[in-house]
Amino acid sequence: MPLVLLATFNLLPDGEFGGETLTAALAERGIDARWEVWDDPEVDWAAADLVVVRATWDYQRRCEEFLTWVRAVEEHTPVLNGGAEVFAWNADKAYLLELAAEVAVVPTLLVGNRTLVPDLEAALAAFGPIVVKPRTGASGVGVLVIAHRQDPALQGLVLPPWVAQPVVESVRTQGETSVYVIDGHPVAQLHKQPSGDEIRVHELYGGATREVPVEPAAAQAALAAMAATERVLGRSLDYGRIDLMAYDGGLVVSEVELIEPGLYLDVSSTTAGPFADLVASRL
């Protein structure tokens, strides 16, 4: 029986929420799947036939250490979805500027530490109120809404560098859409709605997530985003979660999640079967 190790982090040693659905689906396909904490020195990653990064949700705080770990694993064991090369690219939200030449994305400007003031002024002039977020970040941590250069919210800036984007008001009124593309197919769609005036859709900030039928327009946008990402990287990808927002009369890409996108298995088990099929096909 092939062994697949599913990488998680120390606050979720038993895996992502609803992860038992995934391990059960893998077991049905004759795969021994086990959750292991990625930075646990006792884990023998070389013993696995495949390593799948799933819930390493502290990587953004320790990105170089995380990428070093991935490279070490890759010396002995394949890592699903391209490993360190893909993850390093995807960990920096500057990738949105590369994708902008291929597909519609939320307009994005880079904000540097030494150029903070002029960069913020340029973003405010271009977009009006802006969202400032860390270039390497996750779960909405460090995301700020800034209305002007002297906005008190700037006191909450986390470590540089950052990106600046317009405040996309449709997120508050219509929410955000996530489409899972697994092995080239759009298999599931989630609708995420923030709470009140919040723009972050995460449950941590009061957001709510539910499964909805895959809509043709969202599927088309997600497939286009995956294809564009593959062109930029010059390689095929196993899977990704494409986050979309309504902006300027259409759907635009806000994120392409390739490292450890939560499958929301506690909300819907729809992705478990296709993901297990993907893993089985890569063994």
CATH code: domain of residue 233: 3.30.470.20
The CA-based diameter of the chain, rounded to the nearest angstrom, is 60
* pLDDT at residue 43 is higher than 90: yes
User: What local confidence, expressed as pLDDT, does residue 205 receive?
Assistant: 65
Examine residue 57 and state whether it is found in any structural domain, yes or no. yes
153 and 174 share a domain? no
User: What local confidence, expressed as pLDDT, does residue 264 receive?
Assistant: 94
Examine residue 61 and state whether it is found in any structural domain, yes or no. yes
Characterise 248 by phi-psi region: left (phi > 0), alpha (psi -120 to 50), beta (else).
left
Examine residue 159 and state whether it is found in any structural domain, yes or no. yes
Alpha helices (H) along 37-155: 63-74, 83-90, 95-99, 116-127
44 and 174 share a domain? no
Examine residue 269 and state whether it is found in any structural domain, yes or no. no
Examine residue 266 and state whether it is found in any structural domain, yes or no. no
Closest alpha carbon to 134 in 114, 113, 118, 152: 113
Examine residue 270 and state whether it is found in any structural domain, yes or no. no
Q: Domain of 152?
A: 109-166
pLDDT per residue as tens digits for the range 102-143: 999 999 999 999 999 999 999 999 999 999 999 998 877 878
Q: What domain count does the chain have?
A: 3
Examine residue 275 and state whether it is found in any structural domain, yes or no. no
Overall residue count recorded for the chain in this entry: 283
